[in-house]
Amino acid sequence: MSETILEKAEGRVSYHDSVEEMLKRIREDGMSNVFDRWTKQEKIRCKFCLQGLSCQLCSQGPCRLNDKGEPDKGVCGIGPDAMAMRNFLLKNIMGAGTYSHHAYEAFRTLKATGEGKTPFIIKDTNKLKWMCEKLGIDTNQEINQMAIQLAELLQRQQEIGEDDDNLMVEAFAPKKRKELWKKINVYPKGTIHEEQNCVASCLTNVDGSYKSLAAKALRLGIATIYNSQIGLEMVQDILFGTPMPHEVNVDLGIMDPDYVNVVFNGHQPWGGAATIQKAKLDEVQERARAAGAKGLHVVGSIETGQELLQRFQVDDVFVGLMGNWLSIEPLLATGTVDVLAMEENCSPPAIDHYAEKYQATLVSISTIIDLPGLEYKIPYYPEKVNEMADELINLAIENFKKRKGKVTPMVPKITQKAIAGFSTEAVLGALGNKLDPLVDVIAAGKIKGVVALANCSTLRNGPQDWNTVNLTKELIKKDILVVAGGCGNHALEVAGLCTLEAANDIAGEGLKEVCNLLKIPPVLSFGTCTDTGRISMLVTALADHLNVDVSDLPIAVTAPEWMEQKATIDGIFAVAYGAYTHLSPVPFMTGAPKLVKLLTEEVEGITGGKVALGDDPVEVANNIEAHIIDKRKKMGLS
């Protein structure tokens, strides 16, 4: 890693001062924490697992292969490249399954709303009509009936098999990509169908070809984006409004111990949106004041927080986003959380000790979340979300009564402003609803290119968010616009890069000029990891506008701190999409030389995309810039 960046990281666990401050309290209180657990685990890592050369699928294992010689095959006969790719594909299936689960919840919520069974309304009727037109649904009918039909069609599209047409890919994928995917036989069916095929292929003695397994991963990645992600995000826009830029507050300093605080953690907005609506009622705020609080606040945590942040104004009820998943334990240690309401993923299983120590109530508001110390389960059913909000508010007020005076709060006095709420529509709106201005500034070199950052947060390659923030700074210095989603996006918001000031303080002269002209930051907050599909919609619009393939554009994708299975499926989609895809840390497949060559070299001749590696932010930024300049030259740009 570059010397100056490495020096600044010395002795730290996080880029963020608020987390560093809270870790002192956590350690003084003797609490197990993610940062110290990482250090302990690092001492006992298995080299076979790190290389992708370990398999535990059948009773003849665990099998471990030696990348230097014998044994070079598992008991069943599988070789290192197929073993590593099969391990990787299994991770992709989990990521796709989580996205398709989120999509299922979105589609049934839209249907229930159309049937009048939820407290929600169809907020963006224009997007509803647009989606229906794209998918062949009659728009000359009542709005709610349209919503029901769209919800049913979108769920069917997740499930389609070999005999069905993929309407979502046809409607939203780039023209030239669709032709290529058919040619190389990775044009997908529905996400659930592809998940089933991939699961069956990973069974012992079914598919032992690393190339075949890699092709199945590409199909699954494409299906996940088009048949799950884009559908669910468009549905959330229909229900809560399409994101538009607005100023928000982030970091742990948003927590106020004198308020009843209901925190929503996960990836889905339903419970949070319903509770924000409910908490705006005078009677709810009065009940909180009667309990001795100044009122009741709703707080966003990780991706659920970002979903809410994208669509809701920060005000005296919804106060903002605390940060990403590695900040959850520090959040609880502030002693200000009354209810942590959790759905879908990223609810760490060791937080029961924090709930006990700092007097927080843990609540599952999902059919899939459970963990030690969980006190309450409120499974999500769209028609019961109003009652869910009531129950969460009741639990939070009761918890405040127990917490007040028993826990000494400690809140870092650090709050950061950010501009959130970007979408394809928002970008087009800033450009006068046409892409030509963006094309013009790219052609003139004021913006060299665009990098999509779709990312988690991990401790594997340095302190929390260190690589993400420093790589992004290097990119915007080079006049490269960054479009961000995921926990990495929260990192950039908390680090102050999603502000107009960042354009003037850090960005190169060309990007600075464009940002000041359009009144946009050099990093556009596009939302969550689920918004990978939304980011692809902007790139698709640009490719189709220029009548070129995605692989011809001066763009790249980076995941400088990928952590889990949703990241792997996003990454494999980016390769199928034709993008130069940087990953850090190195995936667990270094013991599989043929597979490594396929993903880092050979696949470029097949899809136009490839995997690029590297842990040094300066070096990675230089490599991305070189790739973008090469694409510019091939397009005849200076």
- Count of alpha carbons within 13 Å of 497, Cβ hemisphere only? 29
Return the percentage of the chain with pLDDT > 70, whole number.
99
Q: How much is the average pLDDT of 304-318?
A: 97
Token representation of residue 162: 């070999």
- Count of alpha carbons within 13 Å of 366, Cβ hemisphere only? 29
Given a cut of 60, whether residue 6 has pLDDT beyond it is: no
Given a cut of 90, whether residue 69 has pLDDT beyond it is: no
Phi-psi region of 608 (alpha: psi -120 to 50; beta: other; left: phi over 0): left
Torsion of Cα atoms, 472 then 473 then 478 then 480, to 10°: 40
pTM score: 0.96
Q: 341 has which bridge partners? A: 264, 363
3-state SS string for 89-124: HHHHHHHHHHHHHHHHHHHHHHHHHHCCCCCCCCCC
**Binding region for [Ni-4Fe-4S] cluster:** 267, 346, 456, 487, 529
**What is the β-pairing status of strands 246-250 and 416-420?**
antiparallel
Q: How much is the average pLDDT of 137-152?
A: 98
pLDDT band at 291 (very low <50, low <70, confident <90, very high): very high
Q: Helical H runs in 115-163?
A: 125-135, 143-159
**Binding region for [4Fe-4S] cluster:** 46, 55, 58, 63, 76
The one-letter amino acid code at 72 reads: D
Q: Is the omega angle on the peptide bond into residue 554 within 30 degrees of 0, that is, cis?
A: no
DSSP 261: E
- Give tens-digit pLDDT for 395-444: 999 999 999 999 999 999 999 999 999 999 999 998 988 999 999 999 99
- Count of alpha carbons within 13 Å of 118, Cβ hemisphere only? 28
The length of the chain in residues reads 638
Task: Give Cβ neighbours of residue 441 (< 8 Å, ≥ 6 apart).
Answer: 447, 510, 514
- Give tens-digit pLDDT for 159-218: 999 999 999 999 999 999 999 999 999 999 999 999 999 999 999 999 999 999 999 999
Q: How much is the average pLDDT of 52-58?
A: 95
Task: Give Cβ neighbours of residue 631 (< 8 Å, ≥ 6 apart).
Answer: 449, 552, 553, 554, 555
- Count of alpha carbons within 13 Å of 21, Cβ hemisphere only? 13
pLDDT band at 304 (very low <50, low <70, confident <90, very high): very high
Given a cut of 60, whether residue 448 has pLDDT beyond it is: yes
Q: What is the pLDDT of residue 452?
A: 97
- Give tens-digit pLDDT for 460-509: 999 999 999 999 999 999 999 999 999 999 999 999 999 999 999 999 99
Given a cut of 70, whether residue 306 has pLDDT beyond it is: yes
- Give tens-digit pLDDT for 325-373: 999 999 999 999 999 999 998 999 999 999 999 999 999 999 999 999 8
CB 441 within 8 A of CB 545: no
CB 89 within 8 A of CB 217: yes
CB 490 within 8 A of CB 469: no
Q: CA-to-CA distance for 217 and 89, rounded, in angstroms?
A: 6
Task: Give Cβ neighbours of residue 525 (< 8 Å, ≥ 6 apart).
Answer: 306, 310, 418, 419, 420, 421, 422, 484, 489, 492, 493, 498
Phi, psi of 362 (to 5 degrees): -95, 130
**Binding region:** 46, 55, 58, 63, 76, 267, 346, 456, 487, 529
pLDDT band at 580 (very low <50, low <70, confident <90, very high): very high
Q: What is the pLDDT of residue 67?
A: 75
Compute CA 421 distance to the chain's CA centroid, rounded to the nearest angstrom: 14
Phi, psi of 14 (to 5 degrees): -150, 150
- For residue 367, CA distances in Å to 101, 341, 433 come to 10, 13, 41
Q: What is the pLDDT of residue 477?
A: 98
- Give tens-digit pLDDT for 33-46: 999 999 999 999 99
Q: What is the pLDDT of residue 5?
A: 60
CB 296 within 8 A of CB 262: yes
**What is the β-pairing status of strands 318-321 and 480-486?**
unpaired
Given a cut of 80, whether residue 8 has pLDDT beyond it is: no
Domains of the chain: 80-240 (1.20.1270.30), 252-403 (3.40.50.2030), 417-635 (3.40.50.2030)
- For residue 632, CA distances in Å to 513, 551, 629 come to 20, 12, 5
Helix (H) / strand (E) element for 580: namely: strand 580-583
